[in-house]
Amino acid sequence: MKTLLKSYYHTLLYVLILCSFLSTGEITAQNFSSDAPTGLTVEFIREPKSIQIIDSKPEFSWLVPQSIAMQKGYQILVASSIQVLDKDSGDVWDSGKVMSPSAINVELSGNPLKENTTYYWKVRSMGSNGIISPYSEHQEFTTGKFGAKITSSNFHQIEYISPTYSRKNKDGSYFIDFGKAAFATLNINYTTKKPKTLTIRLGEKLLNGAIDRNPGGTIRFQEVLLKVSPEKSSYQIQLVPDAKNTRPIATPMPPSFPIIMPFRYAEIVGASKNLDPSKQIQEAYFDYFNYDTSSFISNDTILNQVWDLCKYSIKATTFAGVYVDGDRERIPYEADAYLNQLSHYSVDNEFAIARKTIEYFFESMPTWPTEWQLHVAMMLYQDYMFTGNTELIEKYYERLKAKTLMALEVEDGFISISSPNHNDDLMASLGFPDTSSRLRDIVDWPPESNNFGGIKRYQRGEQDQYVFTRINTVVNAFYYHNMKIMAEFAGILNKPTEELDFELRAAHVKKSINDQLFNKEKGYYVDGIGTEHASLHANMFPLAFDLVPEEHLETVITHIKSRGMACSVYGAQYLMEALYKAGEENYALELMTATHDRSWYNMIKIGSTITLEAWDMKYKVNGDYNHAWGAVPANIVPRGLWGIQPKTAGYGLVKIQPQMSILANSAIMVPTIKGAIKGEFKQTENEKHYAVTLPPNMVGEFYFDSTATAVYVNDAPINTAFGYIKLVPGETKIVVALK
């Protein structure tokens, strides 16, 4: 009844408003849209009800209704109670009619909010010719202590997952498969006539059809005893915490969590025939994740399986609320987090976890690899490009300078950990509590056993026999990229002198890299000054970071392709980015769909449902089965294969440049802060057919093949001289005729 009355009230209100507008001649009856804004967020948090908002003037965002197409204005109401808001009144803030296309990053105006207080808000959009949408459904949020370092969150999703397969073994024990590994505990449903003790085994890996009790590395297995009695019929097993991932530096789990571990399989020993395997439940924990915001399918079944593996890997590893390195240590590492961030953005409309992780890197102890420090600016940049928000840039700009390692500049604009400035002061500025610590160049992980401080643990490293010298090519490629980012940040903050300084530093190191680290005779980059060795890494990173002059592209690409997949699952991010930047779509697709033991498909073959820390356990003997940095195709498929990336911050302008290689067909849905971008593709012998749909409030550029002889947009021929076409909200059909 309350809902009906509310609906009646809104209907009556809009009739009155309509009459008012009609009487003034401002709009006609056609100027009301039928749909309302959706996808409301506060501080980019989609479910803020259980999260403490620590900004007294938070930003509001929403998805513009389809019927509006391009928003021209909006009105936001913030109220102290749902009763007030239901009357279309904002006693905390009524923005009034604001003529602006902004539907993201709209900051609360007027008086700041109060701490530890619950508020309610909603919004309506206005389009061209005075079109007005209904108000959105309301969203509730609660403030916390303003100025706290990191947003606190008690929000998580619990999924109760039933078995996909089970059997009773000849010895009377039960085997259960839940289909996918998850960070979870096990709920037992069982009745017994007398007290007894069951043996419960959980694991990620099988051996000869049973759970592998000695799986190797840090693949998880645990056996626990469960006492059952006639008085109870349901139990939650009590797992034993791991000594390493519960250390003080590990990310703490919320107090409401039970002890969880990643597992797919369960075995129950000692139960009678009263046990029903179908009623045993995997209680799995995730942060907020909407699986329906993204999709991908193609005619290549291997590529489809790889995408599905990588997408689920991102969901499965959200359990900690920040990006962690899997289950072994459960702490954020900068490089892991950057790869996780890119993939998370690509499979769900989620920004809060990345932002919390960025804050973690400024408020908690950093990690030791040189290049890992250089990933922090990259995380801030991606946050800015995908959300359009500058608050983290403003907040951390000065402290970020230290993490770009400018202090380590030596001759010719290079940086080096051999700099005399690699000292206690630098380590303190980076946030190391032990200032006697020192950075170490990493290039890739794990290292070769003969090339990293005498470590002999690993059977094979992933550095392609990289030769470490005082001036390291990979480190300086990252440094160049950081300087370009910092120049853009300085421009955003209106610091022209610093912007110029960063640009000059970038130009200086770029020139030095190409003058001193490029072997002109061989046509490739060497690992550093003082060596002639030219690894995959010394070439793929400069190519990924736009350091390679056009005249050297062909020979550098040839050298990269000669090395194969001579990098880790981490390095593969930059290899794939480099290949798609260079237009090497055939080789990129070949690597993404490979089936040898240095491929993503190999992870599926060996039985994991979450990406591994390495290509195979033989490449990292303490590796695991639950590492999100192995999920690179989750972001490379949309960003490389389909070429969908924000060209301006907050997806003000999207660039779409597909590189489908030999795929016959493909369809994709990519989440963005403005809504989903959808694409369909079909290739014939002489034509490529695309259907691209942009969400409301977004425009784009679609780049087509340089070999095109003709291009048709919605059946009309266009001039191909510009190499791209403009896209507007809604569906655009494109046919590219080839030579």
* pLDDT, tens digit (0-9, with 9 covering 90-100), for 24-81: 333 333 466 679 999 999 999 999 988 899 999 999 999 999 999 999 999 999 999 9
Amino acid at residue number 426 = L
Q: Show which of 234, 255, 286 is a domain's final residue.
A: 286
Clarify whether residues 275 and 296 are in a common domain.
Answer: no
Instruction: Judge contact between 739 and 709, C-beta under 8 A.
Output: yes
- What's the N-to-C CA distance of the chain in angstroms? 65
Classify residue 73: in a domain, yes or no: yes
d(CA 5, CA 698): 36
Number of domains in the chain: 5
Instruction: Please indicate, yes or no, if residue 543 is contained in any of the structural domains.
Output: yes
Same domain, 391 and 539: yes
Q: Please report whether residue 646 resides in a domain.
A: no
d(CA 711, CA 692): 14
| 682, amino acid identity | K
Residue 149, pLDDT score: 67
Which CATH number is 114's domain given?
Answer: 2.60.40.10
Asked whether residue 278 falls in the same domain as residue 335, the answer is no
CA distances from 735 to 681, 683, 684, 717 (A): 10, 10, 11, 9
What's the CATH code of the domain at 243?
2.60.120.260
Percentage, residues of the chain above pLDDT 90: 88
Same domain, 266 and 372: no
Give the residue numbers spanning the domain of 239: 157-286
Residue 284 bridge partners (DSSP): 159, 184
Same domain as 513, residue 417 = yes
Burial label, 29 (beta-carbon count in 10 A; 0-12, 13-18, 19+): exposed
Using CA atoms, how far apart are residues 338 and 358, in angstroms rounded to an integer? 9
Distance CA 109, CA 94 (A): 9
647 falls within a domain = no
In a domain, 209, yes or no: yes
Instruction: Of 501, 480, 498, give the one whose Cα is nearest residue 490.
Output: 498
Mean pLDDT by 10 residues, the chain (739 residues): 38 38 37 86 93 94 95 97 97 96 95 96 91 96 85 76 97 97 98 96 98 97 97 97 91 92 98 94 96 98 98 97 94 98 97 96 96 98 98 98 98 98 98 96 85 44 96 98 98 98 98 98 98 98 98 98 98 98 98 98 98 96 96 98 98 98 98 98 96 97 94 95 95 95
CA distances from residue 640 to 390, 575, 592, 672, 680 in whole angstroms, order as listed? 26, 11, 11, 16, 15
Helix H, strand E, coil C: the string for 224-290 is EEEEECCCCCEEECCCCCCCCCCCCCCCCCCCCCCCCEEEEEEEEECCCCCCCHHHCEEEEEECCCC
Task: Please say which residue of 598, 619, 641 terminates a domain.
Answer: 641
Same domain, 598 and 660: no
Q: Are 343 and 310 in contact (CB under 8 A)?
A: yes
Domain boundary among 117, 149, 181: 149
| CA distance linking residue 359 with residue 674, whole number of Å | 24
The answer to the question of residue 648 being in a domain is: no
Are 418 and 454 in a shared domain? Answer: yes
Considering the domain boundaries, does residue 92 fall inside one? yes
With contact defined as beta carbons under 8 Å apart, do 569 and 614 qualify? yes
Residue-level pLDDT at 17: 36
In order of 40, 476, 489, 624, 715, the CA distances from 138 in angstroms are 9, 49, 35, 43, 42
pLDDT value at position 290? 96
Same domain assignment for residues 382 and 530: yes
Q: Which pLDDT tens digit goes with each residue over 499-525?
A: 999 999 999 999 999 999 999 999 999
Handedness of CA 724, 544, 409, 525 (dihedral sign): negative
Q: How many CB atoms lie within 10 A of CB 252?
A: 11
CB 579 within 8 A of CB 588: yes
Best CA proximity match to 104, nearest among 61, 72, 145, 66: 61
pLDDT of residue 147: 81
The single-letter DSSP state of residue 640 is I
- Number of continuous H segments (helices) and E segments (strands) in the chain: 17, 32
Q: Are residues 327 and 461 in the same domain?
A: yes
Regarding whether 175 and 319 lie in a shared domain, the answer is: no
518 plus 578 within the same structural domain: yes
CB 194 within 8 A of CB 286: no
User: Are both 356 and 228 inside the same structural domain?
Assistant: no
Return d(Cα 626, Cα 327) in angstroms, integer: 7
